[in-house]
């Protein structure tokens, strides 16, 4: 195993240790996890409900319209509903929208999750990273579990759809996924 993998796995293991409360006095940690769960759930439900509605109304082309025109705005609306100091977003190493590009520390976590997935490790439901004394990042891994996701993120055979994606996202990286692949993560930044 190369040194990068060893460091990454060690770092992830340390982060995973944060995923389980150590004692009753660790109320702060419990609040971080609770806030992360609520915030990520709100974003996933908001985007999922709208994506489903658009997919039903007009298939992948209508869903693409939603993603390119409304998903980022809806994410901002979700952020306005969250408590002060809490921010939620989606990230991916293979992002379609450059707004979903991970920050350096987030990329390290995504890479570690990818390595775990490649090693057939069942991914944790969440990871909590302590950024500094007052800031945490809660990660909810996103794995492709629905075939409908592959219509726009798999091997796209519909030429019209592929051209529409290329027109809206000239630097698109979010294709060629398969069922069960790690797509990215929801990240909730919590400043205490």
Tens of pLDDT, residue by residue over 150-180, are 999 999 999 999 999 999 999 999 999 999 9
Tokens 């019209």 appear where?
160
Give me the pLDDT at residue 104, please.
Answer: 96
Of the pLDDT bands very low, low, confident and very high (cuts 50, 70, 90), residue 27 is: confident
Give me the pLDDT at residue 87, please.
Answer: 97
**What is the per-residue pLDDT across 86-101, written as a single tens digit (0 to 9) for each?**
999 999 999 999 999 9
Which residues are paired to 102 by β-bridges? none
Buried b (16+ CB within 10 A) or exposed e, 145-157: eeeebbbbbbebe
Lowest-pLDDT range of 2-11, 46-55, 56-65:
2-11
Share of the chain above pLDDT 70, in %: 87
Of the pLDDT bands very low, low, confident and very high (cuts 50, 70, 90), residue 46 is: very high
Average pLDDT over residues 137-161: 94
Residue 20 has pLDDT above 90, yes or no: no
Q: Which two tokens stand for residue 138?
A: 């809660």
Give me the pLDDT at residue 9, please.
Answer: 56
Determine the Cα–Cα distance for residues 149 and 147; give it in Å rounded to an integer. 5
Residue 25 has pLDDT above 50, yes or no: no
Give the total residue count for the chain: 192
Lowest-pLDDT range of 1-5, 50-54, 140-144:
1-5
Report whether 173 contacts 94 (CB < 8 A): yes
Residue 12 has pLDDT above 60, yes or no: no
Q: Which two tokens stand for residue 147?
A: 């075939």
Determine the Cα–Cα distance for residues 52 and 45; give it in Å rounded to an integer. 10
Which among 164, 150, 181, 182 is positioned nearest to 68, based on CA atoms?
A: 164
């Amino acid at each position: 195993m190369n040194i990068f993998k060893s460091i990454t796995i060690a770092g992830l293991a340390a982060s995973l240790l944060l995923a389980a409360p150590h004692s009753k006095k660790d109320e702060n940690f419990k609040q971080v996890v609770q806030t992360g769960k609520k915030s990520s759930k709100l974003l996933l439900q908001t985007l999922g409900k709208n994506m489903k509605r658009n997919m039903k109304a007009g298939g992948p082309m209508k869903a693409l319209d939603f993603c390119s025109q409304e998903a980022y705005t809806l994410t901002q609306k979700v952020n306005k509903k969250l408590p002060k100091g809490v921010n939620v977003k989606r990230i991916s190493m293979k992002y379609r929208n450059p707004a979903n590009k991970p920050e350096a520390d987030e990329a390290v976590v995504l890479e570690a999750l990818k390595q775990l997935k490649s090693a057939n490790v069942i991914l944790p439901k969440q990871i909590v990273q302590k950024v500094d004394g007052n800031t945490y990042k809660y990660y909810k891994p996103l794995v492709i579990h629905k075939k409908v996701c592959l219509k726009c993120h798999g091997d796209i055979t519909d030429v019209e759809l592929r051209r529409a994606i290329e027109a809206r996202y000239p630097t698109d990286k979010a294709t060629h996924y398969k069922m069960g692949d790690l797509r990215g993560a929801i990240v909730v930044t919590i400043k205490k």
